[in-house]
Structure 1
Amino acid sequence: MNRLLSTFGFTRSPFSKDISPSEMFQTDQFQEAMLGLKAAIEGRTSAVVTGDSGSGKTCLIRALEQDLPQGRYRLHYTANATVNRRDFYRQISIGMGLEAHSSFAALYSTVSQHIQDLAVQHKLWVILVLDEAHLLHIQVLEQLHILLNFEKDSKPWLSLILVGLPDLRETLRRNLLASLAARIPIRLQISPLDAEQVKLYVRHRMNAAGCRRDIFSDDALLLMSKATGGILRRVDVLGDHCLAVAMKTKAGVIDATVVQKALQSCGEAL
């Protein structure tokens, strides 16, 4: 790592996952999605965010959490989506610092009452983010519409944000989930970057890591865009391999030849 930093003048690893929300690369699409989530929260409703794996959905949620006023909102995040209905509410209960009862009925009652207490007594609006929501059991999804509207007047006490792969949209079209789908009016899609955005993204990461010169040539960036399909996580993986190849071969600039060698070393990682 130290050799990499000194060779290219980085102050840190440029393609690391450990990047603060304030330094994230924000495309017009990212900003539109952020506005959509804020509109859902401020409008006391819910949203779905879909996109390919590695497209930046979780980064979007991280940025949202940092941007929300702590005195007005309480965001709870969970990504363990493969559990049954009872264990689903148990993990939410634990995440909220509540007692983890053994029965589903007790768990649901505790969670729903806590959400209502936060809204009424503490004036805190709850945002429940369910990542990897495309993996949720259908029984869990069926139950969510009740959590959204557990008062007789159907007044919601929280905003639900479902985050998952594109097939989550198809799942929500099932007839048995019509009640849930009707309560989630905002649908947001995170698409892969185009070639120009990949170029801007890589240079943004270089600058954020302290490098002010263009290490990647235009032909290298174009090849990276084609090879990764514009998926951020893949760009990061390939970028790391490119830097490793360049350092090994003592290349001062990363061109298409370096990228080709990096692609060979990536293997299944890409």
Structure 2
Amino acid sequence: MTRSDLLYAGHFGLTERPFSLVPDPGFLFWSKAHQRAFAVLEYAIYTKAPITLITGEIGTGKTTLLQELLSRLQEDVTVGLISNAQGGRGELIQWILNALQIPLYPTASYVQMFQTLQDHLLAEYAAGRRVILVFDEAQNLSMEGLEELRMLTNINSNKDVLVQLVLVGQPELRDMVQDPRLEQLLQRIASNYHLRDMEPEVMRGYIEHRLKVAGGRGDEFQPDAFDMIFQETHGTPRLVNQLCDFAMLYAWSSEETQVSADTIQQILDDGVYMRRQRRVDRETT
């Protein structure tokens, strides 16, 4: 008996768990919102936009979209991926140098680090390569950090931008960049998109899609279960995954071939699924 069998997959005839919380581009569900967000990302990259902003609630699929984008980039692109960067002046440059695998001397001053980065960007440009810096969870950056990033866009060849920035984060990042103190940064954001939670029908398609990718039929959930799942998750993909994963586990333990509304209710009654307070989504353009 394999580990997958022990985790209910074999019971439903699946080849793997369909609702893992780990971002996996192989399970990417192309809802209209995700298609638009990805189109914005691709457009920004290939038109050499100085700064691109992608925001959304926790678990809406931002990181999965990023991974899909990175897998499609051509070989003439150098990518530096920075996650959860924090710190004051100078520390952000260290994060960037590390992401680009540029050797850093411990005693280097801020000016020396900045010069090292600038020389690297110029060398990449001379070699016909573009540099893209992707900042995931960028809401953790300070106002000072965001302004420091804006200064990087001043590095140019008098014709082309030498580095493109992609800022990805939670909705508060959108508020941060609209702060009057970051007016110059805001003006350089050429493309932006805000991912919202899924509507009920989209969520149902998402669940069925993941089941089919995992080797299922897509009808492992009874129709009455979807309403309860949406009521509890409000269509946030990561929360949908968590609740559906428990649902299939519970159905397997009860030797049921489908997940019903009663299955979902049992999970809620047992308290194994942690509910969260819904945050009102902001209207954005």
TM-score range, shorter chain: over 0.9
- Pick from 115, 118, 121 the counterpart of residue 121 of structure 2: 115
1:193 and 1:26 map into 2 onto residues whose CA distance is 11
Higher helix share: 1
Secondary structure at 1:268 match in 2: coil
The equivalent of 1:42 in structure 2 is 46
2:232 maps to a residue whose letter is: A
Change (3 A) 1:23 1:152: closer
State the 1:155 CA deviation: 4.2
3-state SS of paired residue (1:266): coil
Deviation by residue 1:8-32 (Cα, 9 ceiling, x = unmatched): 1110111124565244111111111
SS in 2 for 1:98: coil
Following TM superposition, the consecutive aligned residue runs of length 4 or more in structure 1 with deviations greater than 6 angstroms are none
2:78 to 66, 74, 93: 74
Q: 1:58 aligns with which of 50, 55, 63?
A: 63
Contact 1:21 1:62 (8 Å CA) reproduced? yes
Which of 250, 274, 284 aligns to 1:268? It is 274
- Distance in 2 between residues matched to 1:243 and 1:42, nearest whole Å: 42
Match of 1:245 in 2: 250
TM-fit CA distance, 1:213: 4.8
Aligned pairs for 1:2-21 within 5 A: 2-3=5-6, 4-17=8-21, 20-21=24-25
Query: How far apart are the structure 1 equivalents of 2:272 and 2:254?
Result: 16
Percent of residue pairs identical:
28
Q: Tell me the SS of whatever aligns to 1:179.
A: helix
Are the equivalent residues in 2 in contact too, given 1:216–1:255 (CA < 8 A)?
A: yes
Query: Which structure 2 residue ranges, 5 or more long, are not aligned?
Result: 277-285
How far did residue 265 of structure 1 move?
3.6
SS in 1 for 2:263: helix
Deviation at 1:114, TM superposition (A): 1.0
* Structure 2 match to 1:94: 98
Asked if 1 retains the 8 angstrom alpha-carbon contact of 2:44 and 2:52, the reply is yes
Deviation at 1:80, TM superposition (A): 2.4
What is the alpha-carbon distance in structure 1 between the residues aligned to residue 203 and residue 231 of structure 2?
Answer: 10
Q: For residues 229 and 184 of structure 1, what CA distance do their matches in structure 2 show?
A: 30
State how 1:1-270 maps to structure 2 within 5 Å: 1-3=4-6, 4-17=8-21, 20-45=24-49, 46-69=51-74, 71-101=75-105, 102-120=108-126, 122-151=127-156, 153=158, 155-263=160-268, 264-268=270-274
- Matched positions, count: 268
Structure-2 separation of matches of 1:115 and 1:240: 45
Give the letter for the 1:9 counterpart. Answer: G
Q: Deviations over 1:51-98 (max 9, x none)?
A: 0011100011001001111x2212211112222232221121112111
User: Counterparts of 1:20 and 1:170 in 2: how far apart (Å)?
Assistant: 29
Structure 1 SS opposite 2:166: strand
TM-score calculated relative to the size of structure 1: 0.93
Quick check: 1:129–1:160 contact (8 Å CA) kept in 2? yes
**8 Å Cα contact 2:232/2:275 also seen in 1:** no
CA contact (8 A) 1:149 1:155 kept: no
Stretch deviating more after TM superposition (130-139 or 95-104): 95-104
Q: CA deviation at 1:138?
A: 1.3
Question: Matched residue of 1:193: which SS?
Answer: coil
Q: Is the 8 A contact 1:93 1:111 kept in 2?
A: yes
1:5 to partner: Cα distance? 2.0
Give yes or no for contact 2:80–2:132 (8 Å, CA) kept in 1.
Answer: yes
For 1:118, give the aligned amino acid: E
